Structures are given as structure tokens and as C-alpha cells.
Amino acid sequence: MKRGHFLTEQRNSASTNLDALPLGKAFDVVNQQDRKVAIAVRRAKPQIVAAIQAVVRSWKSGGRLIYVGAGTSGRLGVLDASECPPTFRSDPKMVQGIIAGGRKALWRSIEGAEDDMGAAEAAIRRMKVGPCDCVMGIATGGSTPFVHAALTEARDRGAATIFLACVPKSQFRARCDVDIRILTGPEVLSGSTRMKAGTATKLVLNTITTLGMIQLGKAYGNLMVDLNSYACRKLTDRAARVVASVTGRSYKGALKLLSQARGKAKTAMVMDALGLSRSAAEQLLKRHHGMLRIALSARREHSSEIA
């Protein structure tokens, strides 16, 4: 397939003499192009919002978000999946990534893996993808066979499907439920989609999982309240500061309360606000599907549980 007409393969007129520019000028060219990425993402807002809604529906049904990609796209999907558990205290199964070529491709490029449609279909089958799941294919250049084969297999198995590319639909179409196109334009280094297209992909994936998790009650205002406070010292400190900020306790007092709540910031805040035991606070949060704001407003409703 000839791909020279694809948007991501075209030459960028701003960088035609890139190799001859002084280093400072070359930096300016790259930086000016990078500034266009957020604008391109903004233009795809309706599709990104629709993707978040599809993902949340899957999660609420007990399903998963599964990213599929090759090269940079695959690595970014795996990266986003790996960052969700420590940030949101989510089950690692909720967000997963499939990369063409398998784990070895995370560290070294495996040429030809992106063309292996059979491997993509096998990966979807191996993960037992079903109607509750949401599969998101990432192919910034639009045409990656591995990604399209995975989406087709996922659709056949009843899963919701999302596609992300940085070329217009007129250049390559996809069969999916939600079609996101981030038109970042020609790269500074022609065809190097690890640059603007890769940056756009990271922005979109961050937005999908962050706003999606918030719909499940993983934040209070703009504070992480479901982070894994036992993961490392940094997260212990952050959790303590979050608890202190919401409850008005001192840092040491917040640490003590967090310990009583077995490291769970949301539980600690409900315990403090409503005077509940840890088990009662956890039951209340469960009753309100983990939504801290709703649980905290339930003071009168559950006044009989106050210790």
C-alpha cells in the first residue's frame, strides 16, 4: 500500500531544512509544531467524550478497557494501563494493553509485527474479550493491520470498539463504534509519528482514563482519593496531604487516620466526617458505589451509624 499521501507521511514545510538549522533554531521549529497538538486534540472533543462514556459503561458492567497498538502506539497504551493502578487504586485488569510483537516489543522494535493480523486476532481471543469489554485500537498512521484485525475480532465478539488515528477518515476508514481523529499534521521529521502524533496519543489516553476513573468516584474535586498509599513513600505522603486537606487534620493526624483506614484515603475521610468505624465507612462507600462526595453528604441518612 502506498502511504505517501497520508497526512502523517507528508513533508512539513516548516522543517524542510531541519538538518541545516542551528540547534537553537531547530528547537524552535519542534516547539512550534508541538504547540499545535493540544489544539488538534481539542477539535476531537465530541469523539473523545463519546469514548470516555463507552469505557465507563464497560467498567460499570464489569468489563475492561483494552488498548491495542504497534510500536509507539502500543507502548503508550501499555504505559497508560500500567499507570492506572497506583493512581486510582484500580484493579490492574480494568485497563490492559496489547502490543504487536508482545512484551519484547516494549523495549525493542520488532519489525513486521504490525502486519501480523493473525497474532492480533489470537490476542483478542486469548484475553476472552466479550460484550462487556471496550477495545481501543491506536494507529496514528491509520492503517496498521494488527490494530484493525484486533478491532474486527473484538466487534465480532460483541465488544465496544474505539479507534484513534492522526489521519482523516478520507485517507483510511475504520470499522468501530467511536472514531477519534487527531489531525496533528505532518511531522517535523517526516513520518516519525513518535513525535506530534505520539504526544497527541498520550494526551488522549490520559484524558480517557483520568476522566473515566473520576466517573467511578476516583477523585474528590481535583484530589486523588483512591490512590494506593502503600505503594511508595511519595504516595503515602500524597494520601496524607489529601486527607489533611479535606478533614482539616494535621499532617500527623492524617497519617494516623490513614493508618486506621488501612491506607484508604476515602475511607479515612468518611470515618472522620461521619464518625464511623472503618467497616461502617467502607460499607457506606460501597452503598454509594465509591462516590465520596455522595457518601459525605449522607450524614443525616446514616446518623444512626455514628459511633
- As annotated, the active-site residues are 83, 114
Q: What is the Cα–Cα distance from 238 to 265, expressed in whole angstroms?
A: 10
Is residue 134 within a helix (H) or strand (E), and if so which, with residue range? strand 134-138
Placement of cell 482514563 in the chain: 209
Write down how long the chain is: 307
**Bridge-based pairing state of the strands 65-69 and 223-224:** unpaired
Greatest Cα-to-Cα distance within the chain, rounded to the nearest angstrom: 75
Task: Tell me the C-alpha distance between 229 and 231, whole Å.
Answer: 6
Phi, psi of 96 (to 5 degrees): -135, 160
Where do we find the cell 466526617?
273
Tally the C-alpha atoms within 13 A of residue 104's C-alpha that lie toward its C-beta: 5
d(CA 86, CA 231): 7
Query: How close are the terminal C-alpha atoms of the chain, in Å?
Result: 70
Q: Answer whether 76's CB lies under 8 Å from 205's CB.
A: yes
In this structure, the number of other CB atoms found within 10 A of the CB of residue 221 comes to: 10
Please answer whether residues 65 and 59 qualify as being in contact, where contact means their C-beta atoms are separated by less than 8 angstroms: yes
